[in-house]
């Protein structure tokens, strides 16, 4: 066999050279094989994933070594050793491996005995957005349940991201109470090459990196990307600090103080799985390796600020990609999984997260605003943005337009003097002691000009401050209130910019134009948050790459995601305005997700025996559908002219609603399936056009029952095609200690008649009651979804709400 292959190689040399960039190109495949993955063979209680006797653990390790040996045998008996490269064996959440080989070999594998499924690898991306809305508001309340020194104690949050900056104060283990070793947690700690800083310290309890697929695909560049868990990007440190960063860390940027930061669960441990990289994001087979490891290690919660740009086409249904199937096994092992919804909003069907076992997190704006003013000598006051201190004292300072301070010969510079990007192009004598006026032009959008360089220029010319103004509408451009590093203000309104220039022009003849800049360091609270951020992906959830609607509610919950302060890596090149800084304020469903992971850790701490489904239910049924003024929560959309408008938020914007951490700790009732995993398999088996052998092939579990998505015992009801009528059942379990009587009320989706029985019930602690919900088409079919809700109000104060999304159809 081997000799024959060599002969072919020499006689077809030319052929191979010509075609090596297409059909013959090796690529990475994820292969699943016969045999049960370890978490199925050695089931853990979904209620306490780490409570696992050590004798069972050693049996499990022996079993997984055997699986790995079988993977190696299969490959070596099918191919010559030089024709493939195995990157990973997966043995906990999947039984299979990632391997680099040629498409022809992938076909050979598909036809091999014992091979169940072969899926080409695909790319995932970090879900941070670079164009958040400038009215966005940094994050607000940090829950303090149990006190920050205790919140999250003994809970481990796994972060699959770009790694971590172990030297950051958000992750220091110093503090009054040392972190003791954690029983039954088995995470490993890699050492970082060439660094003496230990990566793990008790707070960071494990740290590993996964890059084999990125390297095999040629995307990993050793001069930019670190082959260690150390974060060269900033994204992973940021998300980790949101979930579990230390409490009371001073946020300092450019020498200015912006308050104190705290993770949602500041006492939780962080287990780092680096599988994403600065330039290219990541590859599914690296991320699956991270999920496999995290589940094996025994994390309680997984935070995934990562997803595909569109539903994968590699499997017929998005639920069956190796990524989603690996997460299903993790959930079976008791791990709560939060994943970013995606940043494809505000358009429908843009979700990057699909399956009912995953908590998909939408991003909201909070109600904090950093506004500022420049006061002119003529008494006018112009509004602007910028986190910056005031000009010193009460007095006004002369204004000077950058053009008027330009050096005589300013050819040969890459930026116009008006952009204030280079001090050499301006005359220091004209600028010092004054407020420098600079123009925001297209160079800031496309030419590499930054607000930070304006501040640097003003500083090095000894100006007392600067004003950066926009002279023309820049459709689609958003401004963030970024830290300016010195007195400064960004005027984003063209009209206000004209007023400023008119004042400057009219005054320059005799007396100089003068101004002072106000203090922009303190936020103002508008009382209007939260709102759904424009970029946050919207439902309905989809089941495949042709974007067919699913009956799974997506997204599931809204968390704060816009302009969030978090830990940053000074060396990161990703955000020009935060280069060199240890904190950055960035936006995305990436930032919303670790908020939810952190709250999940608080719930797990308070209720160690709650399954992932119970935790998800507690969050969704207690979430808020009102803003801070008690008005209906609103979602940002685009108007036909491209400006931002606000519409009432629907379950396709917010799922259950905006997270309310303290209510989620005491939900009263939860919707949980008795045996969640079997229900999820039943759900897969019930999907129309699903090949049941494929469910077996990718999950290892066969179809024994059928459970349609609408019939999963989830805290929502979604029906994309209601024909005539349907009866849906839901079972609630009283997780409060005391007996309570609940009254059922509901809001019918428009055009749908609804009935719920019983309408009143009394339920003992620990007991369950089944509700039957009848939905009936009661109006002509419009083809549109309509939305409603069901509310269970307890006489001890619990309020349990689930959303309904229903579309009537003809069948
Ligand atoms: C790797 O990064 C370096 C530095 O940015 C760059 O010069 C080089 O071209 C990159 N290599 C590849 C293969 O992209
Ligand atoms: C935030 O402040 C700016 C500048 O003062 C103002 O124009 C804007 O309306 C404020 N945002 C909100 C949401 O009120
Ligand atoms: C202006 O500066 C450019 C580049 O610095 C130089 O090449 C040119 O000779 C200068 N012109 C004059 C008139 O000094
Ligand atoms: C200010 O004066 C300059 C030239 O002196 C002119 O180009 C500009 O249009 C004037 N701006 C306004 C707003 O009047
Ligand atoms: C599942 O695997 C079996 C056995 O390898 C194969 O016959 C069947 O076609 C596979 N099903 C799918 C949908 O790939």
* Interval 330-378: pLDDT, tens: 999 999 999 999 998 899 999 999 999 999 999 998 877 778 899 999 9
Q: Which of 138, 161, 289 minimizes the C-alpha distance to 233?
A: 161
Q: pLDDT at position 804, please?
A: 98
Cis peptide before 681 (omega within 30 of 0): no
Give 303-345 as a DSSP string. Answer: EE-EE-SS--SSSSSGGGSHHHHHHHHHHHTT-EEEEE--S-T
Is there a contact between 659 and 556 (Cβ–Cβ < 8 Å)? no
- Which tokens in the block code for residue 729? 């059942």
Cis peptide before 555 (omega within 30 of 0): yes
- CA pair distance 344, 13, nearest whole angstrom: 45
pLDDT band of residue 475 (cuts 50, 70, 90) is low
- CA pair distance 721, 543, nearest whole angstrom: 14
Please name the residues in contact with 695: beta carbons below 8 A apart, sequence gap of 6 or more.
320, 681, 684, 685, 701, 702, 703
Overall average pLDDT of the 429-447 stretch? 90
Q: Is it the case that residue 18 has pLDDT exceeding 60?
A: no
Q: Return the bridge partners of 271, or none.
A: 158, 206
Helix-helix angle 54-78:103-110, to 10 degrees: 120
Percent of the chain at pLDDT above 90? 66
Q: Where do we find the tokens 């816009």?
A: 562
In the chain, the largest separation of any two C-alpha atoms, in whole Å, equals: 94
Overall average pLDDT of the 752-764 stretch? 97
Is there a contact between 264 and 247 (Cβ–Cβ < 8 Å)? no
pLDDT band of residue 2 (cuts 50, 70, 90) is very low
Global model pTM greater than 0.75: yes
- Which tokens in the block code for residue 448? 């590499």
Q: pLDDT at position 151, please?
A: 82
Phi, psi of 656 (to 5 degrees): -70, -30
Is there a contact between 364 and 558 (Cβ–Cβ < 8 Å)? yes
135 lines ligand 2 (CB under 6 A): yes
Overall average pLDDT of the 490-502 stretch? 92
Pocket of ligand 1 (CB under 6 A): 221, 223-224
Please name the residues in contact with 54: beta carbons below 8 A apart, sequence gap of 6 or more.
none
- Which tokens in the block code for residue 375? 């006061």
- Which tokens in the block code for residue 780? 């002509």
Ligand nearest to the CA of 697: 5
Q: pLDDT at position 144, please?
A: 31
Q: pLDDT at position 413, please?
A: 81
**Residue 640 three-state SS:** coil
- CA pair distance 443, 492, nearest whole angstrom: 16
**Residue 231 three-state SS:** coil
Ligand 3 mean position to 433 CA, how many Å?
A: 28
412 lines ligand 3 (CB under 6 A): yes
Q: pLDDT at position 138, please?
A: 23
Give me the numbers of helices (H) and strands (E) for the chain, helices first please: 19, 40
pLDDT band of residue 9 (cuts 50, 70, 90) is very low
- CA dihedral 44→50→51→56, nearest 10 degrees, is 60
- CA pair distance 116, 418, nearest whole angstrom: 64
Q: pLDDT at position 512, please?
A: 86
Give Cα separations from 98 to 25, 302, 605 (angstroms): 16, 22, 35
pLDDT digits (tens, 9 = 90+) for 386-404: 888 999 999 999 999 999 9
pLDDT band of residue 163 (cuts 50, 70, 90) is very high
Q: Whose CA is nearest to atom 8 of ligand 5?
A: 693
**How many residues comprise the chain?**
811
Cis peptide before 173 (omega within 30 of 0): no
- Buried b / exposed e over 322-348, threshold 16 CB at 10 Å, is bbbbbbbbbbbbbbbbbbbbbbbbbeb
Phi, psi of 306 (to 5 degrees): -150, 150
Q: pLDDT at position 310, please?
A: 82
Query: How many C-beta atoms lie closer than 10 Å to residue 594's C-beta?
Result: 34
Q: Is it the case that residue 741 has pLDDT exceeding 50?
A: yes
Ligand 1 mean position to 221 CA, how many Å?
A: 6
Q: Is it the case that residue 532 has pLDDT exceeding 90?
A: yes
**How far out from the chain centre does Cα 107 lie?**
35
- Which tokens in the block code for residue 180? 């003791």
pLDDT digits (tens, 9 = 90+) for 40-83: 888 876 556 676 677 788 899 999 999 999 999 999 999 999 99
- CA dihedral 520→452→367→605, nearest 10 degrees, is -120
34 lines ligand 2 (CB under 6 A): no
- CA dihedral 496→502→507→512, nearest 10 degrees, is 50
Please name the residues in contact with 744: beta carbons below 8 A apart, sequence gap of 6 or more.
756, 758, 759, 760, 761, 771, 790, 791, 792
Of the residues 408, 411, 422, which should be mutated to test ligand 3's pocket, given the most ligand atoms within 8 Å of the CB?
411
- CA pair distance 74, 68, nearest whole angstrom: 10
Q: Is it the case that residue 139 has pLDDT exceeding 80?
A: no
Q: pLDDT at position 523, please?
A: 76
Please name the residues in contact with 405: beta carbons below 8 A apart, sequence gap of 6 or more.
417, 426, 427, 430, 431, 436
Q: Which of 518, 520, 257, 256 minimizes the C-alpha distance to 393?
A: 518
Higher pLDDT, 435 or 534: 435
Lowest mean pLDDT among 2-11, 333-342, 513-522, 646-655: 2-11
Burial of 806 by CB count in 10 Å (0-12 exposed, 13-18 middle, 19+ buried)?
Answer: buried
Ligand 5 mean position to 689 CA, how many Å?
A: 15
Average pLDDT over the chain reads: 88
Domains and CATH numbers, the chain: 124-367+528-670 (3.40.50.200), 371-517 (3.50.30.30), 716-808 (2.60.40.2310)
Q: Is it the case that residue 208 has pLDDT exceeding 80?
A: yes
Overall average pLDDT of the 441-445 stretch? 81
Q: Whose CA is nearest to atom 6 of ligand 1?
A: 223
- CA pair distance 164, 198, nearest whole angstrom: 12
pLDDT band of residue 478 (cuts 50, 70, 90) is low
Higher pLDDT, 36 or 10: 36
Active site residues: 161, 235, 590
Please count the CA atoms within 13 angstroms of the CA of 101 that sit on its side-chain side.
Answer: 27
Q: Whose CA is nearest to atom 5 of ligand 5?
A: 116
Q: pLDDT at position 695, please?
A: 92
- Give 2-41 as a 3 state SS string: HHHHHHHHHHCHHHHHHHCCCCCCCEEEEEEECCCCHHHH
- Which tokens in the block code for residue 222? 């050793």
Ligand nearest to the CA of 425: 3
498 lines ligand 4 (CB under 6 A): yes
Q: β-strands 397-401, 514-517: how paired?
A: antiparallel
Q: Where do we find the tokens 């059922």?
A: 744
According to the per-residue pLDDT averaged within each range, which of 108-112, 150-154, 365-369 is highest?
A: 108-112
Q: Is it the case that residue 128 has pLDDT exceeding 60?
A: yes
Q: Is it the case that residue 476 has pLDDT exceeding 70?
A: no
Ligand 4 mean position to 498 CA, how many Å?
A: 9
Q: Is it the case that residue 797 has pLDDT exceeding 90?
A: yes
**Residue 615 three-state SS:** helix
Ligand nearest to the CA of 414: 3
- CA pair distance 635, 637, nearest whole angstrom: 6
Overall average pLDDT of the 430-457 stretch? 89
Q: Which of 133, 126, 42, 21 minimizes the C-alpha distance to 530?
A: 133
Please name the residues in contact with 62: beta carbons below 8 A apart, sequence gap of 6 or more.
none
Query: How many C-beta atoms lie closer than 10 Å to residue 527's C-beta?
Result: 11
- Which tokens in the block code for residue 430? 């004209």
Please name the residues in contact with 499: beta carbons below 8 A apart, sequence gap of 6 or more.
380, 382
Overall average pLDDT of the 646-673 stretch? 94
- Which tokens in the block code for residue 32? 């699943």
- CA pair distance 286, 498, nearest whole angstrom: 53
pLDDT band of residue 729 (cuts 50, 70, 90) is very high
Ligand 2 mean position to 374 CA, how many Å?
A: 14
């Amino acid at each position: 066999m081997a000799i024959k292959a060599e002969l072919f190689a020499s006689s077809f040399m030319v052929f191979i050279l010509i075609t090596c960039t297409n059909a013959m190109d090796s690529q990475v495949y994820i292969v699943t094989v016969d045999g049960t993955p370890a978490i199925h063979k050695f089931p853990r209680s979904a209620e306490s994933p780490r409570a696992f006797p050590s004798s069972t653990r050693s049996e499990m390790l022996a079993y997984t070594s055997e699986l790995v040996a079988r993977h190696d045998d299969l490959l070596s008996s099918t191919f010559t050793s030089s024709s493939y490269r195995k990157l990973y064996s997966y043995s906990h959440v999947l039984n299979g491996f990632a391997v680099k080989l040629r498409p022809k070999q992938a076909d050979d594998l598909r036809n091999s005995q014992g091979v169940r499924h072969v899926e080409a690898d695909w790319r995932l991306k970090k879900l941070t957005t670079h164009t958040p809305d400038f009215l966005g508001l940094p994050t607000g309340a940090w829950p303090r349940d149990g006190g920050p020194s205790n919140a999250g104690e003994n809970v481990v949050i796994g972060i699959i991201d770009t790694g971590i900056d172990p030297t950051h104060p958000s992750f220091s283990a110093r503090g009054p109470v040392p972190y003791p070793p954690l029983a039954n947690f088995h995470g490993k700690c890699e050492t970082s090459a060439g660094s003496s800083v230990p990566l793990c310290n008790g707070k960071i309890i494990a740290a590993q990196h996964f890059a084999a697929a990125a390297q095999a695909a040629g995307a990993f560049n050793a001069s930019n990307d670190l082959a260690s868990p150390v974060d060269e990007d900033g994204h992973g440190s940021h998300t980790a600090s949101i979930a579990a960063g230390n409490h009371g860390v001073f946020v300092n940027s450019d020498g200015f103080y912006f308050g104190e930061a705290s993770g949602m669960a500041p006492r939780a441990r962080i287990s780092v799985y680096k599988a994403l990289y600065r330039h290219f994001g990541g590859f599914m087979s690296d991320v699956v390796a991270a999920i496999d490891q995290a589940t094996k290690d025994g994390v309680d919660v997984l935070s995934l600020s990562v997803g595909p740009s569109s539903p994968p086409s590699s499997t017929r249904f998005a639920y069956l990609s190796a990524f989603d199937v690996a997460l299903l096994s993790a959930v079976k092992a008791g791990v709560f999984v939060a994943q970013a919804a995606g940043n494809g909003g505000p358009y429908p069907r843009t979700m990057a997260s699909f399956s009912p076992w995953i908590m998909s997190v939408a991003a909201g704006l909070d109600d904090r605003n950093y506004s500022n003013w420049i006061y002119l000598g003529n008494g006018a006051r112009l509004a602007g943005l910028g986190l910056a201190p005031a000009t010193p004292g009460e007095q006004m300072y002369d204004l000077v337009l950058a053009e008027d301070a330009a050096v005589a010969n300013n050819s040969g510079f890459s930026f116009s003097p008006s952009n204030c990007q280079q001090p050499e192009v301006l005359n220091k004598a004209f600028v010092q002691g004054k407020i420098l006026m600079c123009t925001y032009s297209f160079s800031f959008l496309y030419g590499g000009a930054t607000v930070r360089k304006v501040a640097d220029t003003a500083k090095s010319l000894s100006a007392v401050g600067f004003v950066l103004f926009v002279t023309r509408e820049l459709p689609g451009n958003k401004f963030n209130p970024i830290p300016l590093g010195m007195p400064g203000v960004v005027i984003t309104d063209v009209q206000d910019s004209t007023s400023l220039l008119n004042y400057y022009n009219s005054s320059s003849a005799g007396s100089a134009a003068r101004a002072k800049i106000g203090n922009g360091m303190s936020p103002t609270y508008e009382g209007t948050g939260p709102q759904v951020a424009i970029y946050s992906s919207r439902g309905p959830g989809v089941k495949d790459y042709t974007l067919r609607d699913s009956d799974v509610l997506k997204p599931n919950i809204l968390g704060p995601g816009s302009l969030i302060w978090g830990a940053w890596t000074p060396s990161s090149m990703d955000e020009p305005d935060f280069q060199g800084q240890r904190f950055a304020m960035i936006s995305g469903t990436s930032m919303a997700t670790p908020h939810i992971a952190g709250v999940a850790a608080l719930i797990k701490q308070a209720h160690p025996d709650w399954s992932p489904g119970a935790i998800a239910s507690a969050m969704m049924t207690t979430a808020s559908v009102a803003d801070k003024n008690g008005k209906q929560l609103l979602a940002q959309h685009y108007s036909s002219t491209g400006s931002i408008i606000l519409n009432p938020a629907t379950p396709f914007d917010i799922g259950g609603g905006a997270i309310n951490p303290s209510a989620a700790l005491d939900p009263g009732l939860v919707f949980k399936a008795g045996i969640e995993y079997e229900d999820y398999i039943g759900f897969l088996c019930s999907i129309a056009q699903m090949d049941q052998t494929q469910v077996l092939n990718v999950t290892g579990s066969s179809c024994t029952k059928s459970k349609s998505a609408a019939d999963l015992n989830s805290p929502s009801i979604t029906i994309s095609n209601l024909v005539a009528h349907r009866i849906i059942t839901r079972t609630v379990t009283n997780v409060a200690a005391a007996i309570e009587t609940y009254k059922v009320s509901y809001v019918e989706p428009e055009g749908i008649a609804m009935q719920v029985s019983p309408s009143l019930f009394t339920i003992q602690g620990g007991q369950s009651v089944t509700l039957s919900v009848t939905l009936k088409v009661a109006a002509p079919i419009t083809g549109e979804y309509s939305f409603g809700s069901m509310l269970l109000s307890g006489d001890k104060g619990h309020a349990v709400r689930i959303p309904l999304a229903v579309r009537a159809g003809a069948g």
